[in-house]
Amino acid sequence: MTFSLWALLIGALLITMALAGSLLKRLPVSASMLYLAVGFGLGTAGWGLMTPDPRQVPDILERVTEVALLISIFSVGLKLGLPLSSRQWRLPLRLAFASMALTVGLIAAVAFFLMGLSLGAAVLLGGILAPTDPVLASDVQVDEPGDRDLLRFSLTGEGGLNDGAAFPFVLLGLGLLGLHDLGAAGWRWLAIDVLWGLAGGLGIGALLGTMIGKLVIYLRTHHQEAVGLDEFLALGLVALAYGVAQLAHALGFLAVFAAGLALQRVQEDSRSQGAPKEGPAGLQNKTAHLAVATHPDLASAYMQQAVRGFNEQLERIAELVIVLVVGAMLPYVRVDWATLGFLLLLFGVLRPLSVWVGLLGEAVSRDQRLLISWFGIRGIGSIYYLMFALNHGLSGPVVDQAITLTLTTVAVSIVIHGISVTPLMNLYARRKVGRRDRTASGKHGNEAP
């Protein structure tokens, strides 16, 4: 396929999404569903213009999905604006660690006892499929840092955290298969991959995000320097946090999430008054931009808004690229009844069970608990971990099983969650407003005339 034809195809798709984006938000159809269909048509099942065999190009696919995840995880960190002391943080933490670990165990049990996989392959499959996706879950995520909706905040935080938290389980599965050093009695895995990986990743990211954020604000407000190139700041912080964490043998995904979260906290800590209702986009000239970017009370808000806006645009482009590739890879899988049964168990039993157990004792409404159980969207994180395993020596019949189960899980998740997200979230919003109105009416009814 010539470059001209690719330019025509991608240009038409981008323009179509720009024109139909608002319409898609009102329909039970997501952008990812459209990308998946187009990718399938471009693959060997259709025009044969894309042939990304996961067995042949896992190294390229690993890097592409890795970059997409880093962009999205950083964006998630920038969106979560609630104070770390807020009790609402308990829900995403429990979902990302307790529920995710339980999901790994449940998937591994199904794969080991019902599907005949070895213990190592079963644990590896659990690590690949357990994390929820921060890239494809934009319709159920918070839109602004000040969003306090418990459902959206929980799903957003879970998606940002559990892609990093799943890494030790992937390494455990590889170790049980003889492809990763676990140490005597698993000491290295527990000490380095789990304890240091989690603590080091979060600590490195938080430190770098805070230091760089404060340095930029200081230079802007005291010396009118380091103004502009916020895109470089976003990409530089992502790359720096990930690189330092990886070299220190910590979890790079968690470092990038913590860096975004810390940068957002710099914006909160340094601001003494709110940004104007008209943001930077409403300013008309460079002088006005410079005045806001260097104002002691507005510089941090300006920086955070610019970085977040650029990152969200990159995230949408990454979603398009990755889901096109996923669609093109679907002809390489062979779905049977065992695969369909596994998918039914994962979405209908394993995810809901892990959520209900993980949230025991939390003050969560029935509607919120049901929707959190349902919206365990699988996506780019699972594709990345699959390619990571292939690049680290995974071989034999388990490769075909892993590819089939991962790609079908992601494709089915894109379709069923894409169809259900608009009506379910609209219903949730209406019921939330109804409860608020009834509460307000009850208070007024109890007031003395």
> Could you tell me what percent of the chain has a pLDDT over 70?
88
Residue 16 lies inside a defined structural domain of this protein:
no
Residue 442 lies inside a defined structural domain of this protein:
no
Residue 314 lies inside a defined structural domain of this protein:
yes
CA atoms of 346 and 373, how far apart (whole Å): 11
Range with the largest mean pLDDT of 182-196, 277-291, 293-307:
182-196
Mean of the pLDDT values across residues 55-66? 92
Q: 208: closest CA among 157, 159, 162, 266?
A: 266
Q: Are 226 and 302 in contact (CB under 8 A)?
A: no
- Using one digit for the tens of pLDDT, what is the confidence trace for 167-176? 999 999 999 9
Mean of the pLDDT values across residues 427-448? 67
Residue 448 lies inside a defined structural domain of this protein:
no
Instruction: Indicate the pLDDT class of residue 436, thresholds 50, 70 and 90.
Output: low
Q: 164: closest CA among 247, 91, 72, 89?
A: 72
Residue 200 lies inside a defined structural domain of this protein:
yes
371 has a pLDDT exceeding 50: yes
Residue 23 lies inside a defined structural domain of this protein:
no
Instruction: Indicate the pLDDT class of residue 288, thresholds 50, 70 and 90.
Output: low
Say what the pTM is: 0.89
- Using one digit for the tens of pLDDT, what is the confidence trace for 237-259? 999 999 999 999 999 999 999 99
Instruction: Indicate the pLDDT class of residue 105, thresholds 50, 70 and 90.
Output: very high
pLDDT (0 to 100) of residue 11: 86
Mean of the pLDDT values across residues 403-424? 93
Instruction: Indicate the pLDDT class of residue 445, thresholds 50, 70 and 90.
Output: low
Q: 349: closest CA among 33, 140, 102?
A: 102
Mean of the pLDDT values across residues 60-76? 93
323 has a pLDDT exceeding 80: yes
Mean pLDDT score of the chain: 86
Residue 259 lies inside a defined structural domain of this protein:
yes
Instruction: Indicate the pLDDT class of residue 438, thresholds 50, 70 and 90.
Output: low
338 has a pLDDT exceeding 60: yes
- Using one digit for the tens of pLDDT, what is the confidence trace for 112-150? 999 999 999 999 999 999 999 877 777 788 877 777 888
Residue 22 lies inside a defined structural domain of this protein:
no
72 has a pLDDT exceeding 60: yes
271 has a pLDDT exceeding 80: no
Phi-psi region of 116 (alpha: psi -120 to 50; beta: other; left: phi over 0): left
308 has a pLDDT exceeding 60: yes
Other beta carbons less than 10 A from residue 411's beta carbon: 25
Q: Which domain holds residue 328?
A: 29-276+283-437
Q: How many domains does the chain have?
A: 1
439 has a pLDDT exceeding 70: no
Residue 27 DSSP one-character state: T
272 has a pLDDT exceeding 50: no
Question: What's the helix, strand, coil split of the chain in %, to 5?
Answer: 75, 0, 25
Mean of the pLDDT values across residues 4-27? 79
Mean of the pLDDT values across residues 331-335? 89
pLDDT (0 to 100) of residue 448: 46
303 has a pLDDT exceeding 70: yes
Q: What is the CATH number of the domain that holds 187?
A: 1.20.1530.20
CA atoms of 129 and 115, how far apart (whole Å): 15
How buried is 121 (Cβ within 10 angstroms: 0-12 exposed, 13-18 middle, 19+ buried)? buried
